[in-house]
Structure 1
Amino acid sequence: MSPSGADEYDRVRAKLREIWGYEDFRPPQGEIVRTLLEGRDAAIVLPTGGGKSICFQLPALLQTGLTLVVSPLVALMENQVQELRDRRLPAALLHGQLDRRVRRDTLNAIERNRLRLLYLSPETLLSPPVWERLCQPQVRINGSILDEAHCLVQWGDTFRPAYRRLGAVRPALLKTKPPGTKIAIAAFTATADPEAQQTIATVLGLQRPRQFLYSPYRENLYLALKVAWTPRDRRQKLFKFIQSQGKTSGLVYVRTRGDSEKLAREASARGYAVAAYHAGLSGEERRAIERGWIENQLQFVVCTSAFGMGVNKPDVRWVAHFQAPALLSEYVQEVGRAGRDGRSARALTLVSECTGLLDPEDKQRRESVRRQQREIFKRSRQLAKQFPQQGEVEAIARQFREGAIALSVLHCCGGLQWRDPFHYQLVPGGGSGRGVPAIDATGTMARYVKWRGCRWQFLLAAFGFKSESAVMHCGHCDNCFPHKFNSS
C-alpha cells in the first residue's frame, strides 16, 4: 500500500471508530469499503451477520454526494435508517406509508444535496416524484446499492417486476448529470448461487465488478431436519424443540398468516411470551413486535419469511421452520439469523414424510409453486402478443392487469430490452425458444430435505463452493452427528 493509500485507510478506520466504535474492520469489510470508495462496481456475497451494512454505509458517509440504497422491505429500511439517525447521520428513507410532510421534506433534502444515504424500494425509486428529483443535474449521486440482492432473483420475474428495470437506472441517471460523472453499483446478499450471481450481474449491468464471495458456512450453527408424520405430530415436535431450548431467544418460521396466528395463540396458551408477525399487520404493529423481541420482552416470534431481514439481534439461540421454505436461499437466510454472536445455535426444520400420504401439505405446496410459476409464464407469453413493439411500462400496466409482470417475464426470457427504466423495446424472436427459466424454485430445497450426507456439504456445493464442499464433514448436523439431535 502506498503512503497516500495508507493515509486514506487510516482516515477510513478513524471514521469507523468515530461512528461505530470498532477499532478495525472484519475481513473482508476493509477491502469492500476501499472498492466502493474507488467507484468500482462490486458483487458481494457475505453470510448473515457478516457486517455488510457498514460496507456501504461508511463509503457513503465519507463522500459528498448521495448513495441510493435499494431495499426490499419497509421494516428493513426503517431499522437501518433509525440506527443511522440515532448516530445523527444524514440518512433518510422513502416509502408509501410516510407522512406527506416527511415525504416532502425528504424530497427537498434530495434537491439540496443534504443527504448521504437514501433508502427506498425499487418501486419508489421509479416513481415519478422521486425520479424527477434524482434526475435534477445538481443532485450528485455517487452510487447505488442493491441490498438483499437475492430478492431480484426470487421476486423480480413475477412478484416485484420493478426489480427487472434496475439495470436501466444508471445509464438514465448519467444522461442527466455533468460529463464525467460516475455512479458505481454494488449488490449485497447473504445467499446467491452461481446462477443467481450471474442473473444479478446481468440485470444490474455491472461493469467488471469486483467479487467478494464468502461461503455461508457457520461452524457454530447446528442444522437438523425431522419428519412430522401428521399435522398434530408437527406441532408436538415443534413445541418439544422449543421447550428443549429453555428460555433462550428464537424464531419460528411459517408459510402462511393463518399458521403464524394459530401457533402464536397455542404458544401463548402454553405460557410463552410470543407474537405472530406477518404482512397483514400495520407498520406500527410490526415495529412493536420487533422491539419486543430485540429487547427480550418476547421470547420468540412466529413469523412469515419477511421477518428478520436487517434486524440485528446477535443472541438468537435457535430457529425453527414449521414447514420447509420453498427456496434454499430462504432457508440459509433464515437459519443464519441464529448464533450471530458466534455462540452455539440450533436450527430445526420439520418436513412431511416423503410420500406425503399422512401429511400432504409440504408436497402440495411444492407442486403449487411450480404450477403457479408455469401458469404465470404462460399467461405472460400470451399477453405479450398484444403489446406494441415498443412502448411505456405504465401504459402497458394500465391497459393490462398483469402487464408489468408480462414485461418482466419477457425481459427474463430475452424477449425485451429496456430503453430506459420506463420504456421497453421488444426483441424480434427474442426468447421465443425459452420456456420457464431453468432455476427450479423448489427442486434444490426438496433435494436438501432428502439429503443423507453432511448438510453443510450440500449447502456449500449448492452455493458454488465446490472445493470446500468436497472436504466437508461438519460434525454438527443431524446427518453427521445424529445422536445429538435425537435427544431433543
Structure 2
Amino acid sequence: MNHQITTSWNEVRATFQKIWRYEDFRPPQGEIISCLLAQKDALILMPTGGGKSICFQLPALLQTGLTLVVSPLVALMENQVQELLQHHQKAALLHSELPSSQRRATLQALERQQLRLLYLSPETLLSAPVWERLSQPKLQINALILDEAHCLVQWGETFRPAYRRLGAVRPALLKSKPSGTKISLAAFTATADPLAQTTIKTVLQLQQPEIFRLNPYRPNLHPSIRIAWTPRGRKQQLLKFIQNRPQQAGLIYVRTRRDSENLAAWLAEMGYATASYHAGLGAAERRAVEASWLSDKIPFVVCTCAFGMGINKSNVRWIIHFHAPHLLSEYVQEIGRAGRDGKPAEALTLVSEPTGWLDPEDKQRQQFFEEKMRSQQQTAQQLIKKLPKQGEVNAVTRQFPDGATALALLHSSGQLNWLDPFHYSIEQKTKNQPTTQLQAGKQMHQYLTTKQCRWQFLLNAFGFDKEAANWRCGHCDNCC
C-alpha cells in the first residue's frame, strides 16, 4: 500500500518556502499540488513560464516513494535535476547520453529507494534494464508525470513512437506491485487544443482526471506576421529586424538542421555573434550553445524546435519564425519563450507570398510534410497485413525498419491496442481518421492568413471560446 500522506497544508507551504524561497503559490499551483498529493489523475494546461514543474516536484518530495517524470529532451531534464540537486533534493536522471558510471550509480540509487524523483525519456522508461528495476514489487512508485505532454501529440505518431505506448505503463506496473497500490498519472503542458487534450487523456488512459486550464494569453507578447516576397527579401527583413534591436536576447526558429546551419553561417558573415542549434549536435555542443546564450555571450541562436523547451531565460525580447512551424501548438510554445519577465516582447513570423510564384519554399515545405505523413500512413496500412494478430514491439522493429512508427500510427487510428508497453494486439475494426497532424497543419495556415485579432484566434483554437468572444488584444499586427 502507498502510505497516504497526512502532511498538513502548513507543512506543504513551509517545505515550498524552504526549498524554493517563494512566499506563496501562484494560482492554481496550490490546487494542483493538493490534487497530486491526494493521488488523483490530472491534466494541467499552464502557459510557459507559469511554474509547472514545482506543481509535481513538491508533492514528489513530500512523499516516501518514487515519482517518475517522463520528459522529451535531455536539456530539459538536466536543467530541472540540476536545480533540484542545488536544493539538496533526491533527484536523478537517466538518458542515453549518460556515461555508464553515472548510469550505474542512478540505477543503484533506484534499487535502494534513495530517489524521490527520476527523470527519463519515454524510450529510456521502456528500455529493458530500467523497466526491470521499476517492476520490482518492493519499489514504491507514487506517480507518473508526463512533462511537456503536447509532445505525445506532436511526435507520438512519427519520430517518437514510444509516446503512444505510455498508456500501458501504469496497468503493467500495478500488476507487479502489492495489491491496493495506487499510482497517479498527471500530464502537464502549455499548449494543447481540445483535440490534443482528448488525445492525451485517451492515450494515457487518465481516470476521471481533474483538469486545470489557464489560457495562453500573454498581454506583453506582440505577435505579427509579415510577407517576405523573395528568399532574399526574407533575409533582408530578418537583418533589418535584428539591426534595430542591438544586444537584445532573441531566438530565430527555422525548420531544418540545414536551414539552421546555413542561416547561422550567413549571419556570422554579416558580423553577428550567433550559433546554430539542432538535434543533430552532440550533447556537449548543445550545452555550450545553451550556456553562451543564457549568459548573453551570444544574443541569439538560430535553432530548430529542439531548442528552448524548459530553458529558462526571462529577458528574451523577441522570437522570429524565419519559417512558420507546422503546428499551432509549436508556435505558441515557441513564442512563449519571449517576455517571461513580463516586459514587452515581439513575435514575428515571416511567410512567403500566398501564391508561391516568387518564392515556393513555404508551399514546398508544407507539401513535403503532408506527403511524408501520407506515406507513413500507407506504410502502416501495408504493414498491418503482414503482422501477426498479437506480437512484440522489438520483433516488429527488427523485421521492419519503419515498424515502430507504423505501430504508433495503427494505435492512433484505433486498429491496434497495447496489451502492455511491449506487446500489441490488432483490432478487427478500422477507423480511418486523418492524422491529427494534418488537421493541425491546416489550422496553422488559417492563423497565418487570418484578418482577426491573432490572440482571439489562438484563444479560440485552444478551446477558450468564452474568453475569446468580442476579444481584441490591441497589440498584434491585425489589431494595430
- TM-score, shorter chain, exceeding 0.5: yes
Partner of 1:340: 340
Give 1:408 shift.
1.1
The letter for the 2-side match of 1:339 is: G
Structure 1 residues 318-467: aligned runs within 5 Å: 318-431=318-431, 433-437=432-436, 440-467=439-466
Partner of 1:485: none
Give 1:6 shift.
11
Kindly indicate whether residue 80 of structure 2 is the aligned counterpart of residue 83 of structure 1: no
For the residues of structure 2 that align with 1:103 and 1:319, how far apart are their CA atoms?
A: 36
Give 1:322 shift.
0.4
The letter for the 2-side match of 1:461 is: N
Give 1:161 shift.
1.0
For the residues of structure 2 that align with 1:113 and 1:139, how far apart are their CA atoms?
A: 7
Structure 1 residues 144-159: aligned runs within 5 Å: 144-159=144-159
Kindly indicate whether residue 471 of structure 2 is the aligned counterpart of residue 472 of structure 1: yes
Question: Structure 2: 5+ residue runs without aligned partners?
Answer: none
Partner of 1:163: 163
Structure 1 residues 41-80: aligned runs within 5 Å: 41-80=41-80
Give 1:435 shift.
4.9
Partner of 2:242: 242
Say whether the 8 Å CA contact 1:328–1:445 is kept in structure 2. yes
Give 1:78 shift.
1.2
The letter for the 1-side match of 2:362 is: D
The letter for the 2-side match of 1:190 is: A
Equivalent residues, number: 476
Say whether the 8 Å CA contact 1:167–1:203 is kept in structure 2. yes
**CA displacement 1:106-157 (0-9 Å, x = unmatched):** 1111111101111111110000000000000111100000011001011111
Structure 1 residues 291-306: aligned runs within 5 Å: 291-306=291-306
For the residues of structure 2 that align with 1:164 and 1:41, how far apart are their CA atoms?
A: 18
The letter for the 2-side match of 1:467 is: K
**CA displacement 1:202-231 (0-9 Å, x = unmatched):** 000000000001111000000111100001
Q: Secondary structure at the match of 2:272?
A: coil
**CA displacement 1:6-53 (0-9 Å, x = unmatched):** 972211111111111101011111111111011000000101111101
Partner of 1:17: 17
For the residues of structure 1 that align with 2:281 and 2:409, how far apart are their CA atoms?
A: 30
Partner of 2:95: 95
Please report the RMSD computed on the Cα atoms of aligned residues, expressed in angstroms. 1.4
Partner of 1:484: none
> Structure 1's 211 and 266: CA in aligned 2 closer, same or farther, altered over 3 A?
same
Q: Secondary structure at the match of 1:175?
A: helix
Percent identity of equivalent pairs: 62
The structure 1 segments of at least 4 consecutive aligned residues displaced by more than 3 Å after TM superposition are 433-439
For the residues of structure 1 that align with 2:114 and 2:435, how far apart are their CA atoms?
A: 45
For the residues of structure 2 that align with 1:7 and 1:106, how far apart are their CA atoms?
A: 28
The letter for the 2-side match of 1:399 is: Q
The TM-score with structure 1 as length reference comes to 0.95
Structure 1 residues 152-191: aligned runs within 5 Å: 152-191=152-191
Give 1:367 shift.
1.1
Structure 1 residues 301-316: aligned runs within 5 Å: 301-316=301-316
For the residues of structure 2 that align with 1:276 and 1:401, how far apart are their CA atoms?
A: 30
**CA displacement 1:358-388 (0-9 Å, x = unmatched):** 1111111111111111110011111111111
Q: Secondary structure at the match of 1:398?
A: helix
**CA displacement 1:388-426 (0-9 Å, x = unmatched):** 111111111111111122211111111111111111111
Give 1:436 shift.
4.1
Say whether the 8 Å CA contact 2:154–2:437 is kept in structure 1. no
Say whether the 8 Å CA contact 1:369–1:442 is kept in structure 2. no
Give 1:93 shift.
0.7
For the residues of structure 2 that align with 1:292 and 1:384, how far apart are their CA atoms?
A: 48
> Structure 1's 378 and 239: CA in aligned 2 closer, same or farther, altered over 3 A?
same
Structure 1 residues 204-283: aligned runs within 5 Å: 204-283=204-283
Q: Secondary structure at the match of 2:250?
A: strand
> Structure 1's 205 and 151: CA in aligned 2 closer, same or farther, altered over 3 A?
same
Moved more, 363-372 or 187-196: 363-372
Say whether the 8 Å CA contact 1:111–1:138 is kept in structure 2. no
The letter for the 2-side match of 1:110 is: L
For the residues of structure 1 that align with 2:94 and 2:437, how far apart are their CA atoms?
A: 35
Say whether the 8 Å CA contact 1:277–1:303 is kept in structure 2. yes
The letter for the 2-side match of 1:243 is: Q
For the residues of structure 2 that align with 1:142 and 1:428, how far apart are their CA atoms?
A: 36
Q: Secondary structure at the match of 2:180?
A: coil
> Structure 1's 471 and 434: CA in aligned 2 closer, same or farther, altered over 3 A?
closer
For the residues of structure 1 that align with 2:409 and 2:224, how far apart are their CA atoms?
A: 36
Give 1:471 shift.
2.2
For the residues of structure 2 that align with 1:480 and 1:368, how far apart are their CA atoms?
A: 33
The letter for the 1-side match of 2:216 is: P
For the residues of structure 2 that align with 1:478 and 1:357, how far apart are their CA atoms?
A: 25
The letter for the 1-side match of 2:255 is: R
> Structure 1's 185 and 316: CA in aligned 2 closer, same or farther, altered over 3 A?
same
> Structure 1's 474 and 304: CA in aligned 2 closer, same or farther, altered over 3 A?
same
Moved more, 471-480 or 266-275: 266-275
Structure 1 residues 129-144: aligned runs within 5 Å: 129-144=129-144
> Structure 1's 7 and 162: CA in aligned 2 closer, same or farther, altered over 3 A?
closer
For the residues of structure 2 that align with 1:65 and 1:83, how far apart are their CA atoms?
A: 20
Structure 1 residues 103-142: aligned runs within 5 Å: 103-142=103-142
The TM-score with structure 2 as length reference comes to 0.97
For the residues of structure 1 that align with 2:71 and 2:137, how far apart are their CA atoms?
A: 24
Give 1:160 shift.
1.1
For the residues of structure 2 that align with 1:408 and 1:461, how far apart are their CA atoms?
A: 29
Say whether the 8 Å CA contact 2:456–2:471 is kept in structure 1. yes
Q: Secondary structure at the match of 1:440?
A: helix
Question: Structure 1: 5+ residue runs without aligned partners?
Answer: 482-488
For the residues of structure 1 that align with 2:433 and 2:325, how far apart are their CA atoms?
A: 27
For the residues of structure 2 that align with 1:190 and 1:18, how far apart are their CA atoms?
A: 27
Say whether the 8 Å CA contact 2:370–2:438 is kept in structure 1. no
> Structure 1's 156 and 213: CA in aligned 2 closer, same or farther, altered over 3 A?
same
> Structure 1's 441 and 7: CA in aligned 2 closer, same or farther, altered over 3 A?
closer
Kindly indicate whether residue 28 of structure 2 is the aligned counterpart of residue 37 of structure 1: no
For the residues of structure 2 that align with 1:406 and 1:102, how far apart are their CA atoms?
A: 34
Give 1:434 shift.
4.1
